[in-house]
Amino acid sequence: MAVGPYALTSLANLKSWLGITTTTDDAILEAAIDRATSRIESYLERNIRERTYTEWRSGAGVDMIRLYHWPVSAVSNVFSGAYASLVVTSTDATDIRASVQVNQEGPTPAVVLTRTTSAGVTTTTTLALSTYPTTASLATAIGGTAGFQCSLGKNMRSAQLRPRAGADCVLATVTLYGADIPSEYTYDYHTGRLAIDRSWFAYWPLDKGVMPSPMKAVLIEYTAGYATVPEDVEQACIEVASMLYRDRRRDGNLTSESLGDYSYTRATAQEMSARLDTLLARWKDIA
CA distances from 53 to 16, 43, 133, 220 (A): 33, 20, 17, 8
Q: Identify the pLDDT of residue 263.
A: 52
Residue range 143-193, pLDDT digits in tens = 999 999 999 999 999 999 999 999 999 999 999 999 888 888 888 888 889
Does 210 lie in the same domain as 92?
yes
- Rounded to two decimals, the pTM is 0.77
Does 163 lie in the same domain as 108?
yes
Does 257 lie in the same domain as 164?
no
Range of the domain at 145: 54-224
Does 259 lie in the same domain as 180?
no
Q: Is the residue at 68 inside a domain?
A: yes
Q: Is the residue at 6 inside a domain?
A: no
Q: Is the residue at 2 inside a domain?
A: no
What integer is the mean pLDDT of 15-26? Answer: 94
Does 163 lie in the same domain as 136?
yes
Q: Is the residue at 1 inside a domain?
A: no
* E strand or H helix that includes residue 246: helix 231-246
Q: Is the residue at 26 inside a domain?
A: yes
The pLDDT-based confidence of 50 (bands split at 50, 70, 90) is very high
Residue 97 has phi, psi (to 5 degrees) of -155, 145
Q: Determine the 3-state secondary structure of 224 from DSSP.
A: strand
Does 162 lie in the same domain as 64?
yes
Does 219 lie in the same domain as 160?
yes
Q: ∠271-272-273 over CA atoms, to 5°?
A: 90
Does 26 lie in the same domain as 167?
no
The last residue of a domain, from among 194, 224, 254: 224
What integer is the mean pLDDT of 206-224? Answer: 66
Q: Identify the pLDDT of residue 275.
A: 73
Based on the structure, what is the number of domains in the chain?
2
What integer is the mean pLDDT of 110-124? Answer: 96
The pLDDT-based confidence of 267 (bands split at 50, 70, 90) is low
Q: Identify the pLDDT of residue 207.
A: 45
Q: Is the residue at 5 inside a domain?
A: no
Q: Using CA of residue 101, residue 164, residue 136, residue 171, what is the dihedral sign?
A: positive
Q: Is the residue at 4 inside a domain?
A: no
Residue range 241-265, pLDDT digits in tens = 998 898 776 655 555 555 555 554 5
Peptide bond into 71 cis (omega under 30): yes
Does 213 lie in the same domain as 107?
yes
CA distance 172 to 287: 45
The last residue of a domain, from among 207, 224, 241: 224
The last residue of a domain, from among 224, 239, 262: 224
Q: Determine the 3-state secondary structure of 140 from DSSP.
A: helix
Summary mean pLDDT of the chain: 85
Does 218 lie in the same domain as 243?
no
CA-wise closest residue to 158 among 115, 181, 127, 183:
127
Q: Identify the pLDDT of residue 206.
A: 47
Higher pLDDT, 200 or 117: 117
What integer is the mean pLDDT of 203-231? Answer: 71
Does 254 lie in the same domain as 123?
no
Residue range 126-136, pLDDT digits in tens = 999 999 999 99
Does 236 lie in the same domain as 219?
no
Q: Identify the pLDDT of residue 260.
A: 56
Q: Is the residue at 3 inside a domain?
A: no
